[in-house]
Amino acid sequence: MKALATVSADEIKTDVYFIASDDLAGRDTPSEGLKVAARFLRSRLERLGWKPGAKEGYFHEYPLEHKVLDETASRIDWTVGGDAQKAAGGSLRLGTDYFLTSPFDVTELSASAPVVFAGDGSKSDLESAKVEGKWALVFDDGAEVREVSRAARRAKAKGVIVTPAPHYTGEDYAQRFAPTLERLRKGSIAWPAKPSTKDKDDEAERAPREPFPTVLMTRTAVESLLSAVQKPAVPAKGAELGFALTETRKLAGDGGKIQVENVCGFWPGSDPELSKECIILSAHYDHVGTNSKGEIHNGADDNGSGTSLMLAVAEALSEYGPLKRSVMIIWVSGEEKGLWGSKAFSENPWFPEGVRPVANINIDMVGRNGPEKLLVTPTNDRPKDYNDLVRIAEKLAPLEGFPKLESADKYYERSDHYMFAKLGIPVMFLFSDVHEDYHQPGDDPEKLDYDKIQRVTRLVLRILDGLEDKRTLH
């Protein structure tokens, strides 16, 4: 009860307001805001007397690939006529004459083909233009660029060039794609590729799809090309345009590495035997950063709520004293990118000598959607995964104002517990479901129910206490 009494809704609120502040700029993985958050969490663990939970301190580091586009070497070359006439042509500049659609377009690429006009990029226009093996030039009439690109890929085009239609009234391309260009200049972050040990045929079957070239070309650049081949500003649908394009993308250097951090604290157990068993408590502390408009996604609920809840648990356990079992708190990064932090830990776990993991309780988004709403997975609808953690949670939840835990089974593979399950231990996920501000700029601290987060915190503590008399966990 002394530990439960330390849990304060006001203190949780204070932590959320810091974690989800504009100053941390959405805690993208990686980012300066994420680094600040990590050092904030570490300082709290140190103040509360938690021991380091990683091999060389409080930070469990893992590498990511950092790829940066070589803007100078990336270009589009155009040529007119056959081989004998290829001296006729020129080059278009990235960021001036054309733009790329996504910050994920950082890749090596070389795509050459003649160009055919395919109307507005609709399925019928692409089919009638017979775009297979060719660049499809389409007019931007307000359709979603990704959908046009998918349709062109399905039509087996070599690539797609999107340009403003003559009556286009949308935002100028230079302004519209400036944020994307800036992010391309900063580079893309990816999970490191590992050399395959499979034979070549097997590897080929599993190879990822080749990138599909999609470029956004200014109307001025397109009109210059059409003028060079004496074609009208609005060609006939399906017309061969008489010139070919070669888009080239180059990466700067040989691709670097960047280190990111999980924050880990260790709370040793008191029982001579059970202290060798460790319960992992986890929450991701990253979010999605900013969008293409520069708007900050503060991620107060996702997952400022879980991050701050874990701080409250750490403080409560410092009042409670040691449990029989040891506890590891892990704030993981990269959850929003594909469970990167928990994947990195599960592939290369570290515990003090003689200590092994026996369970994981994972917390994500527990601050909204009604005071009594709380979901859990795995439920007994997943009988192979249903376990003692969930049974205890279902029994104790009413004590904290959650009469019945609803099912989050459809999210079983979507948060970090899924990676911790790969350690061969029972896992449990507590979650209050998504809402209208999920991954939106409106996920702000003033919208959270701090009394609810306080009660979920107390439930986690009750579950830990409820595990004390269990000699084995199933």
Average pLDDT on 173-201 reads: 75
The strand order across the sheet containing 75-80 reads 89-93, 75-80, 240-249, 109-117, 135-140, 159-164, 214-217, 98-100
What is the structure's pLDDT at 201?
A: 44
Please, what is the average pLDDT of the chain? 92
- CATH number of the domain bearing residue 280: 3.40.630.10
Average pLDDT on 75-104 reads: 81
In a domain, 87, yes or no: yes
| Contact present, 138 and 216 (Cβ < 8 Å) | no
Token pair 């029994």 is found at: 395
* Crossing angle for the helix pair 388-396 and 450-466, to the nearest 10 degrees: 130
Pair (284, 415) in one structural domain? yes
CA 263, CA 27: separation in Å to the nearest integer? Answer: 14
Pair (93, 118) in one structural domain? yes
In a domain, 139, yes or no: yes
Pair (345, 223) in one structural domain? no
Pair (14, 153) in one structural domain? no
Pair (209, 261) in one structural domain? no
Q: How confident is the model at residue 85 (pLDDT cuts 50, 70, 90)?
A: very low
Residues 6+ apart with CB under 8 A from 145: 101, 162, 214, 216
What is the structure's pLDDT at 212?
A: 92
pTM for the predicted model, two decimal places: 0.77
Domain boundary, last residue among 224, 249, 274: 249
Q: How many domains does the chain have?
A: 2
Domain boundary, last residue among 249, 283, 308: 249
Pair (430, 407) in one structural domain? yes
CA 297, CA 336: separation in Å to the nearest integer? Answer: 12
- For 369-386, write each residue's pLDDT tens digit: 999 999 999 999 999 999
Q: How confident is the model at residue 251 (pLDDT cuts 50, 70, 90)?
A: confident
Query: Is residue 200 pLDDT above 60, yes or no?
Result: no
In a domain, 473, yes or no: no
Query: Percentage of the chain with pLDDT > 90?
Result: 80
* Beta bridge partner(s), residue 328: 266, 280
Pair (262, 236) in one structural domain? no
Q: How confident is the model at residue 411 (pLDDT cuts 50, 70, 90)?
A: very high
Pair (431, 450) in one structural domain? yes
Pair (317, 266) in one structural domain? yes
Strand locations in 118-239 (E): 135-140, 159-164, 188-190, 214-217
CA 222, CA 154: separation in Å to the nearest integer? Answer: 24
In a domain, 27, yes or no: yes
Pair (260, 238) in one structural domain? no
Q: Which of 140-144, 325-329, 465-469 has the lowest average pLDDT?
A: 140-144
- CATH number of the domain bearing residue 183: 3.50.30.30
Domain boundary, last residue among 181, 216, 249: 249
Q: What are phi and psi of 259, to 5 degrees?
A: -95, 135
In a domain, 474, yes or no: no
Pair (173, 281) in one structural domain? no
Query: Is residue 72 pLDDT above 70, yes or no?
Result: yes
Average pLDDT on 180-186 reads: 83
- Determine the structural domain holding residue 122 and report its residue range: 75-249
Neighbours of 418 (CB within 10 A): 20
In a domain, 471, yes or no: no
What is the structure's pLDDT at 107?
A: 84
In a domain, 20, yes or no: yes
Neighbours of 52 (CB within 10 A): 17
Q: What are phi and psi of 191, to 5 degrees?
A: -65, 135
Query: Is residue 210 pLDDT above 80, yes or no?
Result: no
In a domain, 419, yes or no: yes
Count of alpha carbons within 13 angstroms of residue 275, beta-carbon side: 11
Query: Is residue 199 pLDDT above 50, yes or no?
Result: no
Pair (81, 58) in one structural domain? no
